[in-house]
Structure 1
Amino acid sequence: MLVNKTKPTLSESIRDGLVELIVSGEIKAGERLIETRIAADFGTSQAPVREALRELEGLGLVESRPRRGRHVLPFVEQTIREAYVVRAALEEAATRLAMLNRRLPLDAMRTDVAEMRRCAAADDARAMGLASARFHRRVVLAAENFLLERAWEGLQIEARTAITLALTKPALDHVADEHEDLLGVLAAGDVEAACLHARAHQWAYADLPHDMHGAARTVRFPG
């Protein structure tokens, strides 16, 4: 029996829709984002549009200029990719600390992977993103490093994950597989292998023309 899909909020739908338009080039870098026009395009009031734009500003994809409104920043696609390089470094450090602390909540993380399986069966990308963020947050919290945790949370992981899933449209069962593989390496207890896997897990989503070792690879990011 399939679980019901979770519905994004209206502001989340507008946020993701705007990112798709920006990455596709329909909205150009430097273009002004006018709340009333966006509200009309999405058939809604200005309140959820305003909330979506605030979130995009927080993600570094939009900037607010005094007396000139909000504009799309250049290199949006690059910014999305760069966040995964930063996240890879943070999660590698968190993995090392958590394993040395022997604080990884493996049972809870297995529950997260099981939830990802249910999300894949229901084709629920939004719930998959939330389950993924929850899985990785457990590792970060287990590191017991306040500044690392703040830096990780500052990346707004749920929002970036939702945007990435919306843009790349990966097979959700493959996303669950990736997390199950990572969990298996973490549970095995080899610190160096786990750190390498944790870093590679995020680096793959950076979609650079090379992997983290410098070897050339095919870019999968749309655009």
Structure 2
Amino acid sequence: MLVNKTKPTLSESIRDGLVELIVSGELKAGERLIETKIAADFGTSQAPVREALRELEGLGLVESRPRRGRHVLPFVEQTIREAYVVRAALEETATRLALLGGRLPFDEMRADVADMYRCATVDDVRAMGLASTRFHRRVIVAGNNFLLERAWEALQIEARTAIALVVTKPRLRDVADEHAELLQALESDDVEAACLHTRAHQWAYADLPHDMHGTARTVRFPGAVA
């Protein structure tokens, strides 16, 4: 059966295009972002550009200055490292709560992983991001803690996941494999091992110069300190 790729909205395409320009260094920290120019570059109206810029501002890639417009912020520290470290703590806690309460929806999570493998087959990065977010949201919801869920949603996980996939450009098959391994850990009877795997899963994307145990590692993103 042929599986078609999902199509991003105009604002998502502009958002991802701007992310690539920022990561590559074509748009530098402090550079002003002019809506009319961006709209012309992407061949669209200003409305989706404005929406994309608002999202990037919420993600810490762009800031708005009174009477001076929007400007590019430094990339790695705010968009990858900090968010994934916080996310790791939230998801580890949710995992513990969900496992102890026996609330994880394993059938749905298996379906999410199967969907990720389908996404990898057709190289659908956008759908992979959506499937990954859906998988992790199930763990958060199963944690049955309102404040934890609210904090997780405040990180704008769906958008950050999309950006991380744009930046890191991983093999989508590897992403699916990582989630299959995480699911296997969650399905085991070892709560501590499952929590550790959950934390490690997020720390791998934090791209810090050390892992969660303090062991030195090499960072991958442009401008990062090795």
TM-score clears 0.5? yes
Shift of residue 205 of structure 1? 0.4
Runs (4+) of structure 1 exceeding 3 A deviation are none
Number of matched pairs: 222
* Match of residue 54 from structure 2: 54
Q: Which amino acid aligns with 2:100?
A: L
User: What's the RMSD between the two structures over aligned residues?
Assistant: 1.0
* Match of residue 199 from structure 2: 199
Q: How does 1:183-198 map to 2 (within 5 A)?
A: 183-198=183-198
Q: How does 1:114-129 map to 2 (within 5 A)?
A: 114-129=114-129
1:130 aligns with 2:113: no
Shift of residue 219 of structure 1? 1.6
Q: Which amino acid aligns with 1:62?
A: V
* Match of residue 141 from structure 2: 141
Shift of residue 2 of structure 1? 3.6
Shift of residue 146 of structure 1? 0.5
Shift of residue 62 of structure 1? 1.1
1:77 aligns with 2:89: no
* Match of residue 38 from structure 1: 38
The TM-score with structure 2 as length reference comes to 0.96
Kindly indicate whether the alpha-carbon contact (under 8 Å) linking 1:168 and 1:222 is maintained by their aligned counterparts in 2: no
Deviations 1:115-151 (A, max 9, x none): 0010010110100000000000000000000010010
* Match of residue 11 from structure 2: 11
The TM-score with structure 1 as length reference comes to 0.97
Distance 2:22 2:114 in 1: 34
* Match of residue 211 from structure 1: 211
* Identity score, percent: 81
Q: Which amino acid aligns with 2:116?
A: M
Query: Structure 2 unaligned runs (5+)?
Result: none
Shift of residue 213 of structure 1? 0.5
Shift of residue 88 of structure 1? 0.6
